[in-house]
Amino acid sequence: MMRKSAVFGFFTLASSSQLAWADGGLNAGNAAWLLVSTALVLFMTIPGLAFFYGGLVRSKNALSVLMQCFAITCLISVLWFACGYGLAFGAGGQFNDYLGAGKFLLLDIQRDSMTGDVPETAYLMFQMTFAIITPALIIGAFVERVKFLTAMLFSAGWFLLAYVPVCHWIWGGGWLAQRGVLDFAGGIVVHVNAGVAALVAALMVGPRRGFPDSAMPPHNMTLVVAGAAMLWVGWFGFNAGSALAANGNAGMTMLATHLSAAAGALAWGLIEWRRYGKPSVLGIVTGMVAGLGTITPASGFVAPWAAIVIGALAGTICYFATHYVKRVLRIDDSLDVFPVHGVGGILGSVVTGLFVAAEFGGSGLAAGQTITGQLGVQVLAVAVTAAWSAVVTWAVLKVLAATVGLRVSAEEENEGLDLADHGERAYSL
C-alpha cells in the first residue's frame, strides 16, 4: 500500500527509506497539473513576492527589491541547472544520506526521461521554483541596506550550502527522510530554513539607519495587497502541486491550504481589531501569509478542520512573534521573515506530527509509528535544519563581510538603493 511519506508530495513505499516511483507510462493529466503548478510557484516569486516585498519598503528602495527578486530567479535557475538538482536529488555517491550526486548540467536528462509518470524535465523545473523562492524570502530581512553584489553572492552561497543539503536530507531520500520526517511542501526545507537564515542575517547586518525610532511604513499598500493576492493564488501550486498528481490528494491539499490562509488572515485581523480598534490591511495580508507558510508542511496530510486550527494558530502566534522580535528584541528583520515564515514553519512542521494521525482525520502515520514518535522526528528535523541554516548563514556572511562588505555606505542608504545600486528610480513623478 502506498502512503505519503517524508516528502515533497511524491508517494513512497512505506517500507522504503528512499524515494521510489513506479516507472510507468506518461500520465498526461498529472503532467499537465505539474506544469501548471510550476508556473504558479514561479508566479509566487515574480511577480508575487517581488510586489509584496517591493510595496513594503520605502519608495527609494522599491526598485532594488524588485531587482533582487528578479536577479535571484535568474541566478538560482542557472545554479540548479549546473549542480543544484544533482546535489539535491541525485541518487549516486558515497555520501548519499547527506548529499546527492549525478545529473550535473542535466546532461543525462532527455525529453523522454521520467520521474514516476511525469516527465523529469517538468519535475526538475517544479523543484527549481522552490529553490528560487527560498533565498528570495531571506532578502526581506536585510532590504534597504545590503549591497546588491552582497545579496547575490549570499544567495548563491546559502543556496548551495544550506538549501541544497536540507532539500536532499528531507526530499531527496537523505537521512531525515529515512527517519520518516513529514514535510509535504516545504515547511522545513523552505520556511524554517529561510526564516532562521533571515534572523541570523538581520542580526549580523544590523538595523537600518533610524530603526526603531524612525517610522518606516510601507510606501505602497496597493502593491503589497496585489503581491499578497498573487502569493495566495500561487501557493496552490506550491502545496497542491506537491501531490504531483491530479487526484483527490491534490484536491484535499488545495482545500487545506485555502482554509488555513483564510483562518490566519482572520485571526491576525481580529487581534488587531481588538487591540487597536480597527484591523489593518497590512495585518490581514500578513496573517494570510502566516497561514499559508504554517500549513505548508501539513497540507497534504491533514483534515480541513485541522487546517482551520493551524491557520488560526498561525495568525495568532506569528502576530505576537512579530511584535516580540521588533518591539522587545529590537531586531530589524525588516519584512518579518523570521516571525512569519520561520515561526510559522516551525509551528506547522511540529503540529504535522499530531494532525497527520488517522484519529484526527489525517492521512495516517507510518506502520508502527506513534504520534509521540512522529512528533520527535519532526522536532529533530526542525532543530537540525535551524542549526544548520544558522551556521551556514553566519559563515557565508562572515566571508562576505571580510571581502566585498555587507552594507552600502551611510550616504547611499540615505539616498536609497534604487539610485545607489542601479542608477534608476522606481517612480518618476
Task: Give the per-residue pLDDT at 302.
Answer: 98
Least confident range from 4-18, 239-253, 254-268: namely 4-18
Beta strands 114-115 and 11-13, pairing class: unpaired
pLDDT digits (tens, 9 = 90+) for 56-78: 999 999 999 999 999 999 999 99
Q: What is the pLDDT of residues 416-427, one digit of tens each?
A: 999 999 999 999
The average pLDDT across 22-32 equals 83
Give the C-alpha separation, 398 to 405, whole Å: 9
CA–CA distance, 378 with 345 (Å, rounded to integer): 11
Average pLDDT over residues 120-139: 98
pLDDT at position 92 is: 74
Under the banding of pLDDT at 50, 70 and 90, the label for residue 19 is very low
In whole angstroms, what is the distance from residue 43 CA to residue 20 CA?
A: 29
Q: Percent of the chain beyond pLDDT 70?
A: 94
The owner of cell 517610522 is 215
Q: Are 38 and 237 in contact (CB under 8 A)?
A: yes
Q: Distance between CA 344 and CA 321 in Å, rounded?
A: 10
Which pLDDT tens digit goes with each residue over 276-299? 999 999 999 999 999 999 999 999
Element (H, E) at 333: none
Between residues 23 and 143, the one the model is more confident about: 143
Is the residue at 16 inside a domain? no
> Is residue 18 pLDDT above 90, yes or no?
no
In the chain, DSSP finds a helix count (H) and a strand count (E) of 18, 4
Write the pLDDT tens digit of every residue in 200-245: 999 999 999 999 999 899 999 999 999 999 999 999 999 999 999 9
Could you tell me if residue 418 is left (phi over 0), alpha (psi between -120 and 50 degrees) or otherwise beta? alpha
C-alpha cell of 381?
A: 528535523
- Dist. CA 245–CA 237, nearest whole Å: 12
For position 91, what pLDDT does the model report?
A: 85
Q: Which of 146, 164, 139, 144 is nearest to 341 (CA)?
A: 139
Q: Is residue 7 part of a domain?
A: no
Buried b (16+ CB within 10 A) or exposed e, 54-90: bbbbbbbbbbbbbbbbeebbebbbebbeebbbbbbbb
Report whether pLDDT(3) > 70: no
In a domain, 229, yes or no: yes
* Number of domains composing the chain: 1
Residue 8: inside a domain: no
Tell me if residue 292 falls in helix, strand or coil. Answer: helix
Sign of the dihedral through C-alpha 59, 63, 68, 69: positive
The average pLDDT across 308-313 equals 98
d(CA 188, CA 195): 10
Quote the pTM value.
Answer: 0.93
Average pLDDT estimate for 307-313 = 98
Say which DSSP state 206 is in: -
**In the predicted structure, residue 12 carries a pLDDT above the cut 50:** no
Domain range holding 273?
24-422
% the chain with pLDDT above 90:
91
CATH of the domain at 201: 1.10.3430.10
Other Cβ atoms within 10 Å of 428 Cβ, number = 5
Q: Kindly provide the residue ranges of all beta strands, DSSP E only, lying in 32-157, ordered along the sequence.
A: 114-115, 118-119
Mean pLDDT (the chain, rounded): 93
Q: Tell me whether strands 114-115 and 118-119 are parallel, antiparallel or unpaired.
A: antiparallel
CA distance linking residue 419 with residue 63, whole number of Å: 9
pLDDT, position 94: 75
Q: Which range, of 3-7, 95-99, 212-216, averages the lowest pLDDT?
A: 3-7
Query: What number is the average pLDDT over the span 161-186?
Result: 97
* Contact call for residues 342 and 137 (beta carbons, < 8 A): no
Cell for 126? 517544479
Mean per-residue pLDDT, 191-204: 98
* Cell of residue 310, nine digits: 493551524
Q: Is residue 300 included in any domain, yes or no?
A: yes
Choose the weakest-confidence range: 41-45, 81-85, 100-104, 397-401. 100-104
Query: Does residue 15 sit within a domain?
Result: no
Residue 286 lies in a domain: yes
At 429, is the pLDDT very low, low, confident or very high (cuts 50, 70, 90)? Answer: confident
Indicate the pLDDT class of residue 10, thresholds 50, 70 and 90.
very low
Across 151-173, average pLDDT: 98
* Non-local CB neighbours of 297 within 8 Å, separated by 6+ positions: 182, 183, 184, 185, 186, 187, 188, 191, 345, 348, 349, 352
Q: Pseudo-torsion of CA 379, 385, 386, 389, nearest 10°?
A: 180
State the average pLDDT over residues 325-344.
Answer: 97
Joined together, the cell numbers standing for residue 349 give: 512542521
Query: What is the distance between the alpha carbons of residues 294 and 260, in angstroms, rounded to a whole number?
Result: 8
Residue 12 belongs to a domain: no
Given this model, what pLDDT does residue 275 score?
Answer: 95
Say yes or no to pLDDT of 317 above 90. Answer: yes
